[in-house]
């Protein structure tokens, strides 16, 4: 797999992780956001609560895949005309790692929202 395909795989994995994390917490975040904006009929999103454990597992698996593809050893040589050759392998690795940690932080905030929202919203 070349460098460009690996980057696409890592980025798509991070994006799907965030979507899965949002899906896992839609049962809890959705009604609170809906009430905030005066749309009380959206409280029906609570019916997705049974899917929360499945979506949490999907989120954690995809984040694990993202960490594996970001932190595993890559070949030292860059292919010609690749992002690695244009910007250098260290810069590409640094950007990927920063984005991965930001996505992980967002996913953890969203996944743990049902727990800490009770402390905030009483």
Is 70 exceeded by the pLDDT of residue 15?
A: yes
Q: What is the pLDDT of residue 53?
A: 86
CA–CA separation, 46 and 17 (whole Å): 21
Is 60 exceeded by the pLDDT of residue 10?
A: yes
Instruction: Give me the percent of the chain exceeding a pLDDT of 90.
Output: 1
Scanning the structure block, which residue is given the tokens 């992980």? Answer: 104
CA–CA separation, 61 and 58 (whole Å): 5
68 vs 75, more confident:
68
Q: pLDDT, tens digit, for every residue of 77-86?
A: 666 666 666 6
CA–CA separation, 77 and 84 (whole Å): 9
Mean pLDDT of the chain: 75
Residue 99 pLDDT class (50, 70, 90 cuts):
confident
């Amino acid at each position: 797999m070349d460098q460009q395909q690996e980057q696409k795989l890592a980025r798509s994995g991070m994006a799907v992780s965030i979507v899965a994390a949002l899906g896992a917490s839609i049962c809890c975040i959705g009604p609170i956001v809906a009430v905030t904006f005066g749309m009380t009929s959206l409280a029906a999103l609570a019916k997705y609560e049974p899917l929360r454990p499945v979506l949490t597992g999907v989120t954690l698996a995809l984040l694990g895949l993202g960490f594996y593809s970001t932190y595993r050893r890559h070949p030292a040589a860059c292919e010609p005309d690749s992002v690695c050759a244009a910007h250098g392998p260290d810069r590409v690795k640094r950007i990927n790692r920063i984005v991965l940690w930001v996505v992980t932080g967002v996913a953890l905030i969203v996944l743990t929202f049902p727990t800490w929202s009770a402390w905030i919203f009483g």
